[in-house]
A and B are shown apart, each in its own frame.
Chain A
Amino acid sequence: MANRMDKVFHTTGITKVYRTGEVEVHALRGVDAELYAGEFTVLLGASGSGKSTLLNILGGLDHATAGEAWFRDMELTAMSERELTRYRRDHVGFVFQFYNLVPSLTARENVALVTEIAKQPMKPEEALERVGLTHRLDHFPAEMSGGEQQRVAIARAIAKRPEVLLCDEPTGALDSRTGVQVLDALERINAELGTSTIVITHNAGIRAMAHRVVHFADGNIAEVTTNDTRVAASEIVW
Chain B
Amino acid sequence: MRALDRKLFRDIRRLWAQSLAIAAVLSVGVMIMVMAFGTQRSLTETRDTFYDRARFADIWSQAARAPKTLVEEIAAIPGVARVEPRISQYAVMDLPDMDDPAMAQILSIPASGEPAMNALIVKEGRLPGFGRRDEVVVNEAFALAHDYGPGDALSVTLNGQKRDVRIVGVVLSPEFIYTIGPGSIMPDDERFGILWMAEDVLAAAFNLSGAFNSVTLSVTRGTDLAPVKDALETLLKPYGGTGPYDREQQISNAFLDGELEQLDVMARIVPPIFLVVSAFLVNMVLGRLIQLEREQIGLLKALGYSTGEIAAHYLKLSLGIGALGVALGWLMGLIASQAMASVYVEYFHFPYLVFVQRPSVYVIGAAAGLIAALAGALMAVRRVVGLSPAVAMSPPAPTRFRRGLFDRLIRVFRPEQPTMMIMRAIGRWPLRAALTSFGISISAAIIVAGLFMFDSFDELLDVAFVQANRQDAILEFALERPEEVLDAIEDLPGILVAEGSLSIPARLHHGHYTRTIGIEAARPDNDLVRVFDGDDRVEVAPEHGIVLAKRLAGHLDVGVGDMVEIEFLQEGDTRYRVPVTGTVAQFFGLSAYMDLETASRLLGQAPRVTLSNVVIDDAQRADLFEAVKASPAISGITYMSEVREGFDETIAESAGITLTIYTFMAALIAIGVVYNSARIQLSERARELASLRILGFTRGEVSYILLGELFILTLVAIPVGLVMGYGMAAAMVESFKSDLYALPLIVTDTTYWRAAGVVAGATVVSALIVRRRIDRMDLVAVMKTRE
Chain A complexes with chain B: yes
> What are the residues of chain A within 8 A of B6 when measuring CB–CB?
104-105, 109
Interface residue? A112 (CB, 8 A): yes
Interface residue? B389 (CB, 8 A): yes
Q: List 13 A-B contacts (CB under 8 A).
A: A61-B302, A85-B304, A85-B307, A89-B304, A90-B304, A100-B393, A102-B299, A104-B6, A104-B14, A112-B2, A112-B3, A114-B303, A116-B2
Considering the complex, give the chain B residue whose CB is closest to the CB of A124: B3
> What are the residues of chain A within 8 A of B295 when measuring CB–CB?
100
Residues of B381-395 contacting chain A, CB below 8 A: 388-390, 393
Contact present for B299 and A98 (CB under 8 Å): no
By the criterion of a CB under 8 Å from any partner CB, how many residues of chain B are at the interface? Answer: 25
Contact present for A94 and B302 (CB under 8 Å): yes
Considering the complex, give the chain A residue whose CB is closest to the CB of B11: A104
Considering the complex, give the chain A residue whose CB is closest to the CB of B785: A103
Interface code A111-131, partner B: CB below 8 Å = 1, 0 otherwise? 011101110000000000000
Contact present for A88 and B7 (CB under 8 Å): no
Contact present for B305 and A85 (CB under 8 Å): yes
Interface residue? B301 (CB, 8 A): yes
B3 in complex: contacting residue of A63, A81, A100, A110, CB < 8 Å: A110
> What are the residues of chain A within 8 A of B302 when measuring CB–CB?
59, 61, 88, 94
Contact present for A113 and B3 (CB under 8 Å): yes
> What are the residues of chain B within 8 A of A102 when measuring CB–CB?
7, 296, 299
Interface residue? B786 (CB, 8 A): yes
With the chains together, A89 CA to B786 CA distance in Å? 27
Q: Beyond A98-B786, A100-B295, A100-B393, is A105–B7 a contact (Cβ under 8 Å)?
A: yes
With the chains together, A92 CA to B11 CA distance in Å? 28
With the chains together, A90 CA to B390 CA distance in Å? 18
> What are the residues of chain A within 8 A of B390 when measuring CB–CB?
56, 61-62
Considering the complex, give the chain B residue whose CB is closest to the CB of A81: B307
Most chain A C-beta atoms within 10 Å of own C-beta, residue among B6, B14, B300, B303: B303
> What are the residues of chain B within 8 A of A59 when measuring CB–CB?
302
Interface residue? B4 (CB, 8 A): yes
With the chains together, A185 CA to B687 CA distance in Å? 35
Most chain B C-beta atoms within 10 Å of own C-beta, residue among A94, A102, A116: A102
> What are the residues of chain B within 8 A of A113 when measuring CB–CB?
3-4, 300, 303
Contact present for B304 and A100 (CB under 8 Å): no
Residues of A57-80 contacting chain B, CB below 8 A: 59, 61-63
Interface residue? B123 (CB, 8 A): no
Known: A104-B14, A118-B304. 7 other contacts (CB 8 A): A61-B393, A85-B306, A94-B303, A96-B299, A100-B296, A109-B7, A156-B303
Category for how many chain A residues contact B:
20 to 34
Interface residue? B132 (CB, 8 A): no
With the chains together, A62 CA to B786 CA distance in Å? 23
With the chains together, A107 CA to B766 CA distance in Å? 36
> What are the residues of chain B within 8 A of A19 when measuring CB–CB?
none
A96 in complex: contacting residue of B2, B7, B11, B393, CB < 8 Å: B393
Interface residue? A82 (CB, 8 A): yes
Considering the complex, give the chain A residue whose CB is closest to the CB of B397: A20
* CB of A168, distance to nearest CB on chain B (Å): 10
> What are the residues of chain B within 8 A of A90 when measuring CB–CB?
304
> What are the residues of chain B within 8 A of A82 when measuring CB–CB?
306
Contact present for B393 and A62 (CB under 8 Å): no
Contact present for B3 and A105 (CB under 8 Å): yes
* CB of A11, distance to nearest CB on chain B (Å): 17
A117 in complex: contacting residue of B11, B304, B389, B393, CB < 8 Å: B304
Smallest CB-CB A-B distances: 6 pairs: A89-B304, A104-B10, A62-B390, A112-B3, A88-B304, A113-B3
> What are the residues of chain B within 8 A of A96 when measuring CB–CB?
299, 393
> What are the residues of chain A within 8 A of B298 when measuring CB–CB?
100
> What are the residues of chain A within 8 A of B389 when measuring CB–CB?
61-62
> What are the residues of chain A within 8 A of B307 when measuring CB–CB?
81, 85
Interface code A172-211, partner B: CB below 8 Å = 1, 0 otherwise? 0000000000000000000000000000000000000000
> What are the residues of chain B within 8 A of A92 when measuring CB–CB?
304
> What are the residues of chain B within 8 A of A98 when measuring CB–CB?
786
Considering the complex, give the chain B residue whose CB is closest to the CB of A115: B3
Interface residue? A139 (CB, 8 A): no
With the chains together, A94 CA to B389 CA distance in Å? 12
With the chains together, A102 CA to B4 CA distance in Å? 10
> What are the residues of chain A within 8 A of B786 when measuring CB–CB?
98
